[in-house]
Amino acid sequence: MKLKFRKKTIIKVIIGIFILIALGLGGEYLWSGHQMKKHTGSLTKVIDPTSYFDSYEIIGIKNVNIYTKDSASFVTRNIVLKNGKIDAINDVTDLQSNIDYINGADRYLIPGLVDTHAHLLNSKNDLYLYLANGVTSIAEMFGTDTHLEWKKEAKNGAISPNMYVASSKVGSQKGFSAEMSKNYGGAIHYQTIEEAREGIATFRKEGYDAIKLGSMLNTETYTAIIDEAKKQDIPVIGHLSYEIPLETLYSSGQSQLAHVEEITKSTMEAFGGVAYGDEEKYLDYLKKNADSIAIKLRENNIAVSTTIWLMESLPKQKFDLNNFVRTIELKYANPGVIEGSGLRQGWLPGNNEYENPEILQDAERLKKSKTYNDAYVKAIQIMSSALARNNVTVLVGTDTNVAGVVPGFSFHDEMKSLSNVGFTNRQILDASTIVPAKFMKMKIGKIEVGYESDLVLLSKNPLEDIANSKSIEMVFFDKYRIDENGIKKLLNKIEDVNNDTRSVEINAYLK
């Protein structure tokens, strides 16, 4: 009888343990799910944008200065938009009697801007932040089923920028870290060449526009992905694997690098690493090689998305975060993104992915870290200048929703950074419009009959000062337009819904 009692007790204990394990796993699943929703912006209410945008069938702008790709400056014309297309461009004396014209005198009309490096996460209000800032097309660089659905909605007439959606980041790591990455929305890691080929074919069938490479790719998988992508007729873009030197990149078939930083990281490796005290030697090495690297990128038709402003912000975020957050439009960024979660850090002091308070307390470590970070930024600026000098295909990109990078607003910061490193204002406008349009194979980026009516009306000339890109009076896209008053109300509404969701007060960090 005693033995029988013990068996029953043991069985009950085992069952109890399994129940506790199941409850623990279930609790962890629910907790992690909630945390992912929080830091990807899913918990913030999505606004209804319809009351801020006007729809139209046909509209004109008269006597406006139009930016053309083939002219050295603006030319004064009348323009007619019809059913989401540019229908006519006429001499200023040629006015059609059946059309209501907006007076464009002393105004400047440029194509809608294109951000080639966005991370929307699940923050749909970001789409409207882009439009409010004249960004009428974006490339999502870590795509999901949600982003494909938003892309479909945009094509079907929803109020949204045009969307180009790259796949989630792909790699070839193995083991626990690869599995955790997959489970928590990170990179997808292929364990075999066959699996990689199948993955690329699947992405193509699902409707992705490009394959996004991560940094953790072995040479065999990298080569197989590019080969399969060529068969599937889908471009390969993104990071440069740590195993792939620039010499291999040039002839690889990869058509875009997602950051100027990808180039400088590779040159640091080729230099032999940059230890404290070696910074100036490395910068001299880069200066001697930057032009030849740029020429090879151009000759092999490899485009480069910029993301310079983010890199320039890193020392500020590392060493002076309290002041840095006061320089950005923090109130419009999704609260979940800036606050972070139990799974991911955010943007604010005390919980920022770049901040390292321990270094600030150690004078020697602080000196070394500042020296290295300053050199890191200078390297990116040196390389960017070489891209400008050598007419490499440059695409303006921001890396939005990485710490400090506010959707839409950051685009104008990026343009200013390009100006500071030596790009002409014309080069910047082209890298913001026609160049990415061609890369993404969209009929946008030019003010020409038959092109999409994605346009931005400015009060000041951006060829005189690229900061004038912020002087937005009206934005046109598809069959919609929004004016200054609508933009102001839209931004106020997004600020309101953000405030409703906050769990951290940000007033101390506002401009």
Q: How confident is the model at residue 324 (pLDDT cuts 50, 70, 90)?
A: very high
Say if strands 101-103 and 58-67 run parallel, antiparallel, or are unpaired: parallel
**What is the C-alpha separation between 396 and 418, in angstroms, rounded?**
9
Using CA atoms, how far residue 327 sits from 98, 260, 413, in Å, is 47, 23, 11
Q: What is the pLDDT of residue 360?
A: 84
- Report d(CA 75, CA 78) in Å as an integer: 10
Note the pLDDT of residue 70: 72
Please say if the pLDDT value at position 480 is more than 80.
Answer: yes
Per residue in 301-319, pLDDT tens? 999 999 999 999 999 999 9
Tell me the per-residue pLDDT of 43-71, one tens digit each, with 9 for 90 and over: 999 999 999 999 999 999 999 999 987 76
pLDDT band at residue 243 using 50, 70 and 90 as cut-offs: very high
**Average pLDDT, integer, range 91-107:** 93
The neighbour count for residue 317, using CB atoms within 10 Å, is: 21
pLDDT one-digit tens code per residue, 221-234: 999 999 999 999 99
Q: Which of 67-76, 83-92, 237-246, 425-434 has the lowest mean pLDDT?
A: 67-76
Per the CB < 8 A criterion, the answer to whether 187 and 171 are in contact is yes
> Across all residues in the chain, what is the average pLDDT?
93
Binning pLDDT at 50, 70 and 90, where does residue 1 land? very low
Residue 356: pLDDT over 90: no
- The band of 28, judged by pLDDT with boundaries at 50, 70 and 90, is very low
The pLDDT of 266-279, averaged and rounded, is: 95
d(CA 142, CA 124): 15
Helices and strands in the chain, H and E counts: 18, 18
Q: Check residue 25 and give its pLDDT.
A: 47
Q: How far from 248 is each of 31, 301, 305, CA to CA, in Å?
A: 43, 14, 19
pTM: 0.93
- What was the pLDDT predicted at 337? 96
Average pLDDT for 11-28? 59
Please choose, from the candidates 218, 265, 219, the residue with its C-alpha nearest in 3D space to the C-alpha of residue 273.
265
140: exposed, middle or buried (C-beta count within 10 Å: 0-12, 13-18, 19+)?
Answer: buried
What's residue 20's pLDDT? Answer: 59
Q: What is the mean pLDDT of residues 290-294?
A: 98
Residue 214 has pLDDT above 70, yes or no: yes
Q: Residue 299 contacts by C-beta under 8 Å, 6 or more apart in sequence? A: 250
CB 208 within 8 A of CB 168: no
3-state secondary structure of 38: helix
Provide mean pLDDT across the span 314-337. 96
pLDDT confidence band for 37 (50 / 70 / 90): confident
Displacement of CA 2 from its chain's centroid (Å): 69
pLDDT average, residue stretch 153-161: 97
Single out the residue of 111, 314, 117, 328 nearest to residue 212, CA to CA. 117
Q: What is the pLDDT of residue 39?
A: 83
What span, in angstroms and rounded, lies between the C-alpha atoms of 504 and 348? Answer: 9
Cα–Cα distance for residue pair 8/3, rounded to 1 Å = 9
Question: Does residue 169 carry a pLDDT above 70?
Answer: yes
Inform me whether the pLDDT recorded for 26 exceeds 60: no
In the prediction, which pLDDT does 217 show?
95
Instruction: Give the pLDDT band (50/70/90) at residue 361.
Output: confident
Instruction: Tell the residue number behind the tokens 């440059």, with chain if given.
Output: 394
Segment among 62-76, 186-200, 214-228 with least mean pLDDT: 62-76
With cut-offs at 50, 70 and 90, classify the pLDDT of residue 420: very high
